[in-house]
Amino acid sequence: MKVKVKMHEGMFLVAIFSLAYTQLVKGQSLPGCPSTCGNVTIEYPFGTSPDCYYAEDDTFNLTCNETEKQLFFRNIPVINVTHSGELRILADISYTCYDSQTNSTNWSYNTFGMGNLTLSVKNMFTAVGCDTYAFLSTYGVRNYSSGCMSVCGSAPETNGECSGNGCCQTSVPRGNNYFRVRPYTFTNYSDVQRYNNCSYAFLVENGSFNFDAVEDLKNLRDVTSFPVVLDWSIGKQTCKQVGNTHICRGNSTCFDSIRGTGYNCKCFEGFEGNPYLLDGCQDIDECSSIRHNCSYPKTCRNMVGGFECKCPSGFDLNNTTMSCEVIDKQDPKYLGWTTTLLGTTIGFLLILLCVSFIQQRMKHRKDTKIRHQFFEQNGGDMLMQRLSGAGQSNVDVKIFTEEGIKTATNGYDESRILGEGGQGTVYKGILPDNSIVAIKKAHLGDCSQVEQFINEVLVLSQINHRNVVKLLGCCLETEVPLLVYEFITSGTLFDHLHGSMCDSSLTWEHRLRIAIEVAGTLAYLHSSASIPIIHRDVKTANILLDENLTAKVADFGASRLIPMDKEELATKVQGTLGYLDPEYYNTGLLNEKSDVYSFGVVLMELLSGRKALCSEQPQQSKHLVNYFASATKENRLHEVIDGQVMNKYNQREIYEAARIALECTRLIGEERPRMKEIAAELEALRVTKTKRKWSGNYPEPKEIEHLLGVEILSAQGETSSTVYDSIKNVRILDIEAGR
């Protein structure tokens, strides 16, 4: 008989220790009765003859096959008998197999009745195979049926896991004395199987079967049985019901069986042995083993059921008389011991102080080294060189410490997160002076973010404008770089137009003023900054609004400084889908007209209340620039304008702003106006309400012919990779740096 038992190393050692111990303890069976059968120790109330087992219950009658040297319970092999209320047997597996040669199925179902013994909860019902399901039926105290299903949807490569892929398991209830195991298959195995043409089901003790994805699916039929734990108890009454008539012997106690019927016995604390035998529970000599906790073995004294080893305070153990004596404090031995103890304690404390001081110095030195490494890793040297070479800075960039940032964000608590995106996570921070700031933390392990981090500090250091988000400082001594900005309270323009704040509609006066502020800011960046700056990612998600709805242009991670002697700069294309300049996309040449195009799209959003790119819209209105152009060409511009802002008093201003937006989005950059001109025209609309003469007609079709081809650009752009903006979850196009 081949038995497959997979045991953890710890369980194996416990089993070996238990076997060795039962060989040492005498009186495990009745006097004159066999105490072993083969390698199995027989413990009363079990026995192999009428005079050797508990006579009132035939369940305890076992059979020893001397030829095979094997112990049996009702023709079932027994592998372990204990007086703790458990009996371990070997239970056959059940299987159903398809024979391709005879085109037939052969099977073997396991059915077993256990008399007064019942199944333990230490067993698991297990099924192994592909396209397999199995049922377990148990009867006794209460009838119970259960099952599980095992499939091989993917190759079961993980050993030890029995969770449905090639193997499944379910728990077994306690208390039933009859069980039946039946496996089935969803198929008739007429197709070639990847692993085996058999399905298996069996009961097994917890920890005795570890699923092997390769071996078990192919060869489990070679295994005939697994260990199963059965619970046993004496009679059907509780300890209270039987009173003093229980069979628990000296130095033992009665306790109700865990299986819900009958009782069991156990030795008192400090005793061990078989509690069902007279003198079966013997005192444990803790002092001759490692079971005592005395500081010195010589002070340990064994007692019946326990031990003692320590004299009361103020007493000393006399090793001669083994008695505790009052300590004489004038005894030179005591004084010498006290002096030695005091000196040792002081010396130990001094050593601890020295070690602590050295550790603090080493930790400080290590932290300083790590901060310097992070400074270099985050491009600190590069940043300092760039700042010193970029001309006079207009912003006083403060250097924050790691501890200060951690305190400001409450340890980077999740409740402080304002937004997450491609460039990192933005936290709300509170500085020691109670001022609120926004702290941008780059993604961990993304080396490409260092260059954008440096670029943003470099660009913002050249800007001092009331409509640009102010950079307060940065932190370079952390594992990832950190930027600290002024905190803008009212979200982004995108939120107000399309997002969480869209129900707080902006009036035309608000929208016109925001357009004027953004246009003036871009004009400043292009013409008035110490070094011309192209923002390169102008969009409503990068325009913040404060409590007064004043616009603040943000996110300069993609911006570029343009040398004074150049009008354009060759770069890899980077920007946001829907706002990206078609000419820049096709040529890779970046100039200020690229920002003009993006601003035109923002102005269209302010006029229409629609997103720059909306996949949910029909094809003809999916791209705002296309939709704006075609509506103008077909004399239905009023369909595009947001109905919440237009009335008979501001129609001319809105249509004039629409004309400016169309001019900004011309396909050829040279035909677009400069940001200075745009800012002046928008300002004129606010001051004079109508500076231009309104003809009453829509622009001529030739005015919007320049927009043809944007659909092609959008289609091309959709194949590029997309991630998210650093402050809001806004989809952007990133061809340069994976931003």
CA 613 to chain centre: 34
Nearest one of 83, 88, 116 to 265, comparing CA atoms:
83
Amino acid (1-letter code) at residue 607: L
Amino acid (1-letter code) at residue 73: F
In 3-state terms the chain splits into helix, strand, coil percentages (rounded to 5) of: 30, 25, 45
Here the tokens at position 170 are 């379910």
User: Please, are residues 436 and 410 in contact by the beta-carbon 8 Å criterion?
Assistant: no
Q: CB neighbours (10 Å) of residue 276?
A: 23
Contacts of 734 (CB under 8 A, 6+ apart): 422, 574, 720, 721, 722, 723
331 exposed, middle or buried (CB, 10 Å; 0-12, 13-18, 19+)?
exposed
Nearest one of 364, 118, 421, 451 to 260, comparing CA atoms:
118
Judged by DSSP in three states, 649 sits in: coil
User: Please, are residues 737 and 452 in contact by the beta-carbon 8 Å criterion?
Assistant: yes
Alpha carbon distance, N-terminus to C-terminus of the chain: 66
Contacts of 701 (CB under 8 A, 6+ apart): 633
Measured CA to CA, the distance from residue 440 to residue 724 in angstroms comes to 14
Q: What is the DSSP string of 454-500?
A: HHHHHHHTT---TTBPPEEEEE-SSSS-EEEEEPPTT-BHHHHHTST
Give the strand pairing for 398-399 and 471-475. parallel
Angle at 652 between CA 647 and CA 657, to 5 degrees: 105
Q: CB neighbours (10 Å) of residue 569?
A: 16
Here the tokens at position 608 are 């229409």
Half-sphere exposure of 605 (CA within 13 A, CB side): 28
Catalytic residues, which ones? 537
Q: CB neighbours (10 Å) of residue 69?
A: 12
Residue whose structure tokens are 């013409």: 527
Here the tokens at position 275 are 């509690």
Q: What is the DSSP string of 429-453?
A: EE-TTS-EEEEEEPPTT-THHHHHH
Contacts of 581 (CB under 8 A, 6+ apart): 575, 593, 594, 597, 598, 669
Measured CA to CA, the distance from residue 41 to residue 233 in angstroms comes to 19
Measured CA to CA, the distance from residue 694 to residue 391 in angstroms comes to 46
Nearest one of 151, 25, 22, 3 to 91, comparing CA atoms:
3
User: Please, are residues 113 and 177 in contact by the beta-carbon 8 Å criterion?
Assistant: yes
Contacts of 355 (CB under 8 A, 6+ apart): none
Contacts of 327 (CB under 8 A, 6+ apart): 314, 315, 316, 334
Here the tokens at position 55 are 């006579």
Judged by DSSP in three states, 134 sits in: strand
